[in-house]
Amino acid sequence: MDVYKTKAGKLTGTNFHEVWRKALLVFKQIKKKSKRQPYLRSVYFNKEKVFLNLFWAHLFEKAIGDRLRRLKYFEAAVELIEHTRFRPSTKVDPNNPGVLPHRFNGVTKTREFFYVQIKENVSSQKKYLISIFP
Protein backbone atom coordinates (compact mmCIF):
# COMPACT_ATOMS: atom_id res chain seq x y z
CA MET A 1 0.00 0.00 0.00
CA ASP A 2 1.53 3.27 -1.12
CA VAL A 3 0.73 6.31 0.99
CA TYR A 4 1.32 9.90 -0.12
CA LYS A 5 2.90 12.06 2.59
CA THR A 6 1.53 15.60 2.47
CA LYS A 7 3.31 18.71 3.65
CA ALA A 8 -0.02 20.12 4.82
CA GLY A 9 -1.48 19.24 8.17
CA LYS A 10 -5.04 19.11 9.40
CA LEU A 11 -6.98 22.35 9.49
CA THR A 12 -7.18 23.56 13.07
CA GLY A 13 -10.31 24.58 14.91
CA THR A 14 -12.63 23.44 17.65
CA ASN A 15 -15.97 23.77 15.91
CA PHE A 16 -17.30 23.37 12.39
CA HIS A 17 -17.51 27.08 11.55
CA GLU A 18 -13.83 27.74 12.37
CA VAL A 19 -12.65 24.85 10.21
CA TRP A 20 -15.15 25.68 7.47
CA ARG A 21 -13.80 29.25 7.14
CA LYS A 22 -10.24 27.93 6.73
CA ALA A 23 -11.36 25.33 4.19
CA LEU A 24 -13.27 28.01 2.26
CA LEU A 25 -10.09 30.11 1.99
CA VAL A 26 -8.34 27.13 0.37
CA PHE A 27 -11.38 26.48 -1.86
CA LYS A 28 -11.63 30.14 -2.95
CA GLN A 29 -8.02 30.05 -4.18
CA ILE A 30 -8.91 27.04 -6.32
CA LYS A 31 -12.21 28.53 -7.45
CA LYS A 32 -10.77 31.83 -8.69
CA LYS A 33 -8.52 29.96 -11.16
CA SER A 34 -11.49 28.92 -13.32
CA LYS A 35 -14.51 30.71 -14.65
CA ARG A 36 -16.90 27.76 -14.43
CA GLN A 37 -16.65 24.71 -12.17
CA PRO A 38 -13.79 24.59 -9.66
CA TYR A 39 -11.32 21.81 -10.36
CA LEU A 40 -7.83 20.50 -9.60
CA ARG A 41 -5.36 19.03 -12.06
CA SER A 42 -4.18 15.60 -10.97
CA VAL A 43 -0.70 14.26 -11.77
CA TYR A 44 -1.91 10.66 -11.42
CA PHE A 45 -4.63 11.18 -14.04
CA ASN A 46 -2.17 12.81 -16.50
CA LYS A 47 -3.13 16.38 -15.54
CA GLU A 48 -6.84 15.75 -16.14
CA LYS A 49 -9.38 17.75 -14.17
CA VAL A 50 -10.92 16.55 -10.92
CA PHE A 51 -14.06 18.57 -10.21
CA LEU A 52 -14.90 19.58 -6.62
CA ASN A 53 -18.63 20.44 -6.74
CA LEU A 54 -19.93 16.99 -5.68
CA PHE A 55 -17.76 17.02 -2.56
CA TRP A 56 -19.60 19.95 -1.02
CA ALA A 57 -23.02 18.40 -1.74
CA HIS A 58 -21.87 15.11 -0.22
CA LEU A 59 -20.34 16.85 2.80
CA PHE A 60 -23.53 18.69 3.72
CA GLU A 61 -25.52 15.44 3.72
CA LYS A 62 -23.51 14.35 6.77
CA ALA A 63 -24.08 15.17 10.43
CA ILE A 64 -22.23 18.23 11.75
CA GLY A 65 -19.68 16.21 13.75
CA ASP A 66 -18.84 14.10 10.71
CA ARG A 67 -18.54 17.24 8.55
CA LEU A 68 -15.99 18.67 10.97
CA ARG A 69 -13.99 15.45 11.03
CA ARG A 70 -13.88 15.24 7.21
CA LEU A 71 -13.30 18.94 6.52
CA LYS A 72 -10.17 19.07 8.68
CA TYR A 73 -8.37 17.05 5.98
CA PHE A 74 -9.43 19.30 3.06
CA GLU A 75 -6.10 21.10 2.57
CA ALA A 76 -4.13 17.84 2.76
CA ALA A 77 -6.56 16.20 0.32
CA VAL A 78 -6.09 19.01 -2.20
CA GLU A 79 -2.33 18.48 -2.07
CA LEU A 80 -2.75 14.72 -2.43
CA ILE A 81 -4.99 15.04 -5.49
CA GLU A 82 -2.63 17.45 -7.21
CA HIS A 83 0.67 15.68 -6.52
CA THR A 84 0.29 11.94 -5.88
CA ARG A 85 1.65 9.41 -8.35
CA PHE A 86 0.72 6.36 -6.28
CA ARG A 87 -1.85 3.94 -7.66
CA PRO A 88 -5.21 4.09 -5.83
CA SER A 89 -7.33 1.10 -4.95
CA THR A 90 -10.01 0.91 -7.64
CA LYS A 91 -12.97 -1.44 -7.44
CA VAL A 92 -15.77 -1.75 -9.98
CA ASP A 93 -19.15 -1.24 -8.37
CA PRO A 94 -21.44 -4.13 -9.44
CA ASN A 95 -24.55 -1.99 -8.81
CA ASN A 96 -23.26 0.87 -10.98
CA PRO A 97 -20.84 -0.37 -13.68
CA GLY A 98 -20.58 3.07 -15.29
CA VAL A 99 -18.71 4.50 -12.28
CA LEU A 100 -15.18 3.70 -11.09
CA PRO A 101 -14.39 4.76 -7.51
CA HIS A 102 -10.69 5.45 -6.85
CA ARG A 103 -9.49 5.56 -3.22
CA PHE A 104 -6.17 7.29 -2.54
CA ASN A 105 -4.29 6.86 0.75
CA GLY A 106 -2.58 9.82 2.39
CA VAL A 107 -0.91 10.83 5.61
CA THR A 108 -0.58 14.36 7.01
CA LYS A 109 2.67 15.83 8.26
CA THR A 110 1.56 14.89 11.79
CA ARG A 111 1.22 11.22 10.64
CA GLU A 112 -2.56 10.99 10.59
CA PHE A 113 -3.98 8.73 7.87
CA PHE A 114 -6.82 9.81 5.61
CA TYR A 115 -8.46 8.67 2.39
CA VAL A 116 -9.62 10.59 -0.65
CA GLN A 117 -12.29 9.06 -2.87
CA ILE A 118 -12.64 10.16 -6.49
CA LYS A 119 -15.45 8.96 -8.71
CA GLU A 120 -14.74 8.50 -12.43
CA ASN A 121 -17.61 8.40 -14.89
CA VAL A 122 -16.59 5.73 -17.41
CA SER A 123 -18.54 7.07 -20.39
CA SER A 124 -17.52 10.74 -20.11
CA GLN A 125 -14.11 10.17 -18.41
CA LYS A 126 -14.93 12.98 -15.93
CA LYS A 127 -13.60 12.72 -12.40
CA TYR A 128 -15.24 14.10 -9.27
CA LEU A 129 -13.99 14.39 -5.69
CA ILE A 130 -16.59 12.59 -3.63
CA SER A 131 -15.27 12.19 -0.12
CA ILE A 132 -12.42 12.77 2.32
CA PHE A 133 -12.33 10.77 5.53
CA PRO A 134 -9.85 9.68 8.22
Residue 1 has pLDDT above 70, yes or no: no
pLDDT per residue as tens digits for the range 4-62:
999 998 999 989 999 999 999 999 999 999 889 999 999 999 999 999 999 999 999 99
pLDDT for 94 equals 84
What is the pLDDT at residue 97? Answer: 85
pTM: 0.91
Closest CA to 36 of 57, 55, 56, 52: 52
Comparing 133 with 1, the larger pLDDT belongs to 133
Cα separation, 22 vs 9, in Å, equals 12
pLDDT at 89 over 70: yes
Whole-number average pLDDT of the chain: 92
Distances (CA, A) of 4 to 13, 19, 54, 84, 108: 24, 23, 23, 6, 9
Convert the pLDDT of each residue in 65-81 to its tens digit: 999 999 999 999 999 99
